[in-house]
Amino acid sequence: MTASILYIHGLNSSPASHKASQLSRAMAHLGLAEQLRVPPLHHHPRQAMAQLQTLVSELGSPLLVGSSLGGYYATYLAEQHGLKALLINPAVRPHLRFDGYLGPQKNYYSDETWELTQDHVDALAEFDVAPPTDTTRYQVWLQTADETLDYRDAERYYRACALRIQAGGDHGFQGFAERLPILFAFAGINATLWRDIDFSAFN
């Protein structure tokens, strides 16, 4: 059976985000659209985690691909279920980062508005885990010019894992499409399906 992938987007993002769209189009091109899930996550961490736990149960042992806050969620799930995770500019201990940010929020894609409360922050803290130690289950992709998160926080937290640190870039992670072969290999997708494809076409 071909490996499945669960893509976990970040705060105020959606399945319409750039990376999620690139991955969705690439999986469809490989004929593997049914092996990918990109859920629109609820803004409240507990409800988002309930969505993700349900999908992990349905998919069995998916590769978790988490971006930003999605990387934080993916780490919790990977540690709980022994799953592989590929993290892209992941948030580290995000519950410590919301001083001064409580209040109205707007989803960049859906235009949904919602209120960030202390309960959101407290819920995020519930999913904090010790830094992973299993280097074989993680890949962590960082770009040093991330304008939202300091990449060095993730570099320290995931220091025991396979780190791929690229100079420049941004929080959205430039060049994601060209790196899809690495993602597919990590997911265990047969190379005969993707090795001759120019993934820059999915930018």
Assign 2 a pLDDT band (cuts: 50, 70, 90).
low
Q: Which two tokens stand for residue 103?
A: 């209040």
Sheet holding 5-8, edge to edge: 36-37, 5-8, 63-67, 85-88, 138-143, 162-166
The pLDDT of residue 52 is above 80: yes
Structural domain boundaries in the chain: 5-94+102-202
Closest by CA position to 185, among listed 67, 90, 63, 17: 63
The pLDDT of residue 77 is above 60: yes
Weakest mean pLDDT among 114-118, 138-142, 178-182: 114-118
The residue that leads in pLDDT, 101 or 52, is 52
Tell the CATH superfamily of the 5-94+102-202 domain: Alpha/Beta hydrolase fold, catalytic domain (3.40.50.1820)
pTM > 0.85: yes
Per-residue pLDDT tens for 107-123?
A: 888 888 999 999 999 99
Q: Which two tokens stand for residue 150?
A: 């300091």
Which whole number is the average pLDDT over 57-81? 97
Q: pLDDT value at position 196?
A: 93
Report d(CA 175, CA 16) in Å as an integer: 17
Q: pLDDT value at position 121?
A: 94
